[in-house]
């Protein structure tokens, strides 16, 4: 696990606890094993209760919270990888590959739009590329030139 992942976990844990809960955690190490089990459940209950008390004011303004940070699915997958099993890692890597391919497709679409702006005659029905569809244009961008173009 990377240091960045540890920092995020530590900051989360720090945010959703208070000094009294931390004192109970220290105190639990001095208790008997039977009592330690009971206090552990109580500590988790207190953490849950404290977390709920912190999130209640934000429940009505979820739009404000979601607009603070842009969502990056590839970055999220990368951060989750160290915590996953082999099957889960494969799934996350497939998601990353999907979004990478999607971003590449978006870039190619932008290139096609730029080509249309710079060479409108080439993309018009009477132009040199008449009758070509987008798959043929993308193929040309990858070096696969069709043989059935009407020039």
- Which pLDDT does position 116 carry in this prediction? 81
- Which pLDDT does position 36 carry in this prediction? 93
Cα–Cα–Cα angle for 52, 48, 71, rounded to 5 degrees: 65
- Which pLDDT does position 51 carry in this prediction? 87
- Which pLDDT does position 10 carry in this prediction? 84
- Which pLDDT does position 69 carry in this prediction? 58
Q: In the chain, which stretches have pLDDT less than 50?
A: 59, 61-67, 126-127, 151
- Which pLDDT does position 135 carry in this prediction? 64
Helices vs. strands in the chain: H and E counts, helices first: 7, 0
Distance CA 98, CA 92 (A): 10
């Amino acid at each position: 696990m990377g240091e960045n992942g540890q920092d995020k976990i530590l900051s989360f844990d720090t945010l959703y606890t208070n000094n009294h809960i931390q004192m109970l955690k220290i105190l639990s190490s001095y208790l008997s094993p039977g009592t330690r089990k009971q206090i552990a459940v109580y500590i988790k209950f207190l953490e849950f209760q404290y977390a709920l008390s912190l999130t209640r004011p934000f429940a009505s303004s979820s739009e404000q919270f979601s607009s603070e940070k842009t969502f990056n699915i590839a970055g999220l997958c990368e951060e989750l990888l160290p915590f996953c099993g082999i099957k889960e890692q494969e799934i996350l890597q497939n998601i990353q590959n999907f979004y990478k391919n999607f971003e590449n497709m978006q870039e190619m679409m932008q290139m096609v739009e730029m080509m249309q702006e710079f060479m409108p005659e080439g993309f018009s029905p009477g132009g040199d590329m008449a009758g070509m569809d987008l798959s043929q244009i993308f193929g040309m961008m990858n070096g696969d030139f069709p043989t059935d173009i009407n020039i």
